C-alpha cells in the first residue's frame, strides 16, 4: 500500500448535507449547510480530513438520489504539535461556513476604500508579474486570467453581513493566472483587502510555519494537499498580516487556472514557499504604498459573445500581436474628423469569456458627446448570406 493510500485511509470522515436553493427572481441564492462527524479509527486528533457533499435540487430538476456523491479529503491535523515561528499552537477547531450575497457593483474607484483605484490595481499587477522568477512563464490569457487585479467586490451596505465580519474585510480585489515552469502548470491567486483585526493564533493543521518580517508584519505559510473525488492536488499558500492593515492571501496549486471538474494536476507546484513569500511581501502590494507618479489606469475590460467555442482555435500571443499591428497601421491612415478615441486601436486582448475572441473597448468623443465603442474580432464564424440583388 502506498503512503498516499495510507494517508487517505487515516483521514477522519466528515460528511456534509448541502442544500442549495436558487431563487431566480431577484437573483437571490440561499445555501444551507449542515455538518456531522462520523467515527473512524485514527491515531491522531484530526480535523476536516474527508468530506462527502451531496447536492439536492428543486423538484423540477434531477432528483437528489441521482446526483453522484462528491468527496473532498485533506490531511489529518496532528495535535499537540510544534510549528516553527509559533510560540504556542492551539487545537484545531471544527470548520465553520458562511454565505452572503453581494448586492453592489464591482468598481475600481469606491470612495469607501480610498486605498484602491484603477491605477493602484495597474501598479500592483505590474509588480507581481515582474517579480515572478525568470524561468516562470505566465500563460497567455485574458487580462482577468493574467494576474491583473480586478475591481473591488464589496456589499453595498453593512446590512446582513456575516457575524464577526466587517465591510472592509469583505471588500477585496483578486488577481489570478496560470504559471508554467519546466513544462509544469499551476494556478496562482492573490486576494487583497484591509483589516484592523488582530493576528490570529497558530492553529494545528492551518499552517506549517509563521514568519515575522523586518517591519514586524507576520506571514503564515501552508504546504499541503487535497483530494477531490480521489484526484490529488498540491497546494501552497501564504497569508500576510501587514502592520499597516494590509491582508494578502496567496494560493498556489498544481492545476490550470481555468479550473473545472476536469482540471488535471501537474504534480509540481511551480513556486517554492520562499518564492511565494517574495511575491506577497512586496511593498507595492501594501495598501499604504502610494501609486507611482504617471501610472496609467487599467484599460476597460471587454467581453466577447458567449458561445460554444470548442471547435474554434484559441487565440495565441502571436495572433493578437499581428492583429494589433494591422490595426495600428490602419489607425494612422484615418482621415481628419474621425471621432476621438481615448486610446488608439492596437491594444486587443483575449476576451474574458471567450478565448477564441479578441476585443478592445474604447471611449469615443465627438464634440461634446461621449460614448463607448466595443471592437470584437472572432474566428470560426460563417460568412453572412449574400443580400438579395
Three cell numbers, residue 288: 499604504
**Residue 97, in any domain of the structure:** no
Taken in order 324, 326, 332, 334, is the CA torsion positive or negative? negative
Count of Cβ atoms closer than 10 Å to residue 114 Cβ: 10
- Collapse the DSSP code of 177 into the 3-class scheme (helix H, G, I; strand E, B; otherwise coil) and give the result: strand
Q: What is the rounded CA–CA span in Å between residue 15 and residue 98?
A: 17
Predicted confidence (pLDDT) at residue 341 exceeds the cutoff of 90: no
Burial class (CB in 10 A: 0-12, 13-18, 19+), 73: buried
What average pLDDT does range 167-191 have in this prediction? Answer: 93
Same domain? For 201 and 254 the reply is yes
Q: Is the pLDDT of residue 90 over 70?
A: yes
Alpha-carbon distance of 95 to 120, in angstroms, equals 34
Per DSSP bridges, beta strands 231-241 and 340-341 are unpaired
Residues 200 and 258 in one domain: yes
- Domain end call among 285, 309, 341: 285
Domain interval for residue 8 = 3-73
Let me know whether 123 and 171 are in one domain. yes
Is there a domain that residue 304 lies in?
no
Radius of gyration for the chain, computed over Cα atoms and rounded to the nearest angstrom: 24
With respect to residue 90, please indicate whether it lies within any of the assigned structural domains.
Answer: no
Phi-psi region of 323 (alpha: psi -120 to 50; beta: other; left: phi over 0): alpha
C-alpha span between 352 and 142 (Å, rounded): 5
> What's the domain count of the chain?
3
First to last CA, the chain: 76
Whether residue 138 sits in one domain with residue 231: yes
C-alpha 205/C-alpha 45 separation (Å) is 10
C-alpha–C-alpha distance, residues 174 and 152, integer Å: 8
Mean pLDDT, range 87-111, rounded to an integer: 76
Mean pLDDT of the chain, nearest integer? 78
What's the pLDDT score for residue 102?
58
Give the lowest-confidence range in 10-24, 133-147, 186-200, 271-285.
10-24
| 212 and 146 in a common domain | yes
Choose among 160, 173, 170: nearest CA to 30.
160
> Each residue of 22-77: pLDDT tens digit?
232 333 233 333 332 233 333 333 333 333 333 334 444 556 566 567 888 999 99
Statement to judge: residues 142 and 278 lie in one domain = yes
- 237-273 pLDDT, tens digit per residue, is 999 999 999 999 999 999 976 655 556 788 999 999 9
Strands annotated E in the chain? 13-23, 28-37, 50-56, 70-73, 137-138, 173-181, 184-194, 209-212, 218-228, 231-241, 246-253, 340-341, 349-351, 354-366, 369-378
Claim to verify: residue 62 and residue 122 sit in the same structural domain = no
Higher pLDDT, 211 or 334: 211
145: three-class secondary structure by DSSP: helix
Cell numbers 485574458: residue: 142
Residues 226 and 163 in one domain: yes
Q: Is residue 293 part of a domain?
A: no
- Kindly state whether residues 272 and 362 are assigned to the same domain: no
Cell of 225: 494537499
Q: Are residues 321 and 213 in the same domain?
A: no
Assess if residue 85 is contained within a domain. Answer: no
Q: What is the pLDDT of residue 101?
A: 57
Mean pLDDT over residues 299-310, rounded?
A: 69
Q: Residue 243: its pLDDT value, please?
A: 98
Beta bridge partners of 15: 36, 52
Angle at which helices 118-131 and 273-280 cross, to 10°: 150
Q: Is residue 106 part of a domain?
A: no
pLDDT band, residue 141 (cuts 50/70/90)? very high
Q: For the segment 150-166, what is each residue's pLDDT rounded down to a tens digit?
A: 999 887 777 767 777 77
> Is residue 16 pLDDT above 90, yes or no?
no
Note whether 16 and 42 are within 8 A (CB): no
What are the CA-CA distances from residue 349 to residues 18, 145, 260, 327, 356 (Å)?
39, 11, 23, 13, 11
Per-residue model confidence (pLDDT) at position 307: 62
Domain finish residue from 14, 43, 73: 73
Statement to judge: residues 226 and 165 lie in one domain:
yes
Residue 137's alpha-carbon distances to 186, 272, 318, in angstroms, are 11, 15, 16
Q: What percent of the chain has pLDDT over 90?
A: 46
- The reply to whether 146 falls in a domain is yes
Q: Is the pLDDT of residue 190 over 50?
A: yes
* Residue 251 and residue 151 share a domain: yes
Of 244, 261, 285, at which residue does a domain stop?
A: 285
Residue 291 lies in a domain: no
pLDDT band at 376 (very low <50, low <70, confident <90, very high): confident
Amino acid at each position: 500500500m502506498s503512503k498516499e493510500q495510507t494517508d487517505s485511509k487515516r483521514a477522519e470522515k466528515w460528511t456534509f448535507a448541502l442544500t442549495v436553493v436558487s431563487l431566480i427572481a431577484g437573483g437571490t441564492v440561499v445555501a444551507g449547510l449542515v455538518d456531522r462527524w462520523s467515527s473512524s479509527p485514527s491515531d491522531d486528533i484530526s480535523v476536516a480530513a474527508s468530506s462527502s457533499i451531496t447536492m439536492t435540487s428543486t423538484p423540477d430538476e434531477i432528483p437528489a438520489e441521482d446526483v453522484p456523491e462528491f468527496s473532498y479529503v485533506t490531511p489529518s491535523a496532528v495535535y499537540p504539535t510544534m510549528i516553527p515561528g509559533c510560540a504556542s499552537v492551539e487545537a484545531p477547531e471544527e470548520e465553520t461556513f458562511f454565505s452572503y450575497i453581494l448586492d453592489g457593483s464591482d468598481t475600481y474607484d469606491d470612495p469607501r476604500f480610498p486605498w484602491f483605484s484603477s491605477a493602484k490595481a495597474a501598479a500592483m499587477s505590474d509588480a507581481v508579474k515582474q517579480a515572478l522568477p525568470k524561468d516562470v512563464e505566465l500563460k497567455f490569457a485574458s487580462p482577468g486570467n493574467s494576474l491583473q487585479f480586478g475591481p473591488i467586490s464589496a456589499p453595498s451596505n453593512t446590512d446582513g453581513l456575516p457575524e464577526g465580519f466587517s465591510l472592509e474585510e469583505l471588500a477585496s480585489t483578486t488577481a489570478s493566472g496560470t504559471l508554467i515552469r519546466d513544462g509544469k502548470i499551476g494556478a496562482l491567486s492573490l486576494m487583497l483587502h484591509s483589516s484592523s483585526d488582530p493576528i490570529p493564533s497558530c492553529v494545528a493543521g492551518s499552517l506549517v510555519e509563521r514568519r515575522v518580517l523586518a517591519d514586524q508584519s507576520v506571514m503564515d505559510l501552508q504546504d499541503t494537499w487535497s483530494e477531490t473525488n480521489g484526484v490529488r492536488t498540491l497546494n501552497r499558500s501564504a497569508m500576510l498580516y501587514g502592520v499597516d492593515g494590509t491582508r494578502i492571501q496567496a494560493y498556489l496549486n498544481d492545476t490550470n487556472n481555468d479550473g473545472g471538474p476536469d482540471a488535471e494536476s501537474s504534480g509540481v507546484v511551480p513556486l517554492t514557499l520562499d518564492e511565494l513569500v517574495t511575491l506577497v511581501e512586496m511593498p507595492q502590494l501594501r495598501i499604504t504604498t502610494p501609486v507611482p507618479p504617471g501610472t496609467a489606469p487599467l484599460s476597460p475590460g471587454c467581453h466577447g459573445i458567449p458561445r460554444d467555442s470548442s471547435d474554434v482555435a484559441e487565440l495565441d500571443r502571436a495572433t493578437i500581436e499581428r492583429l494589433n499591428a494591422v490595426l495600428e497601421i490602419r489607425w494612422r491612415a484615418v482621415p481628419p474628423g474621425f471621432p476621438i478615441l481615448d486610446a488608439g486601436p492596437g491594444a486587443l486582448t483575449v476576451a474574458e469569456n471567450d478565448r477564441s475572441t479578441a476585443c478592445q473597448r474604447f471611449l469615443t468623443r465627438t464634440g461634446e458627446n461621449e460614448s463607448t465603442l466595443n471592437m470584437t474580432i472572432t474566428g470560426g464564424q460563417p460568412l453572412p448570406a449574400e443580400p438579395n440583388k
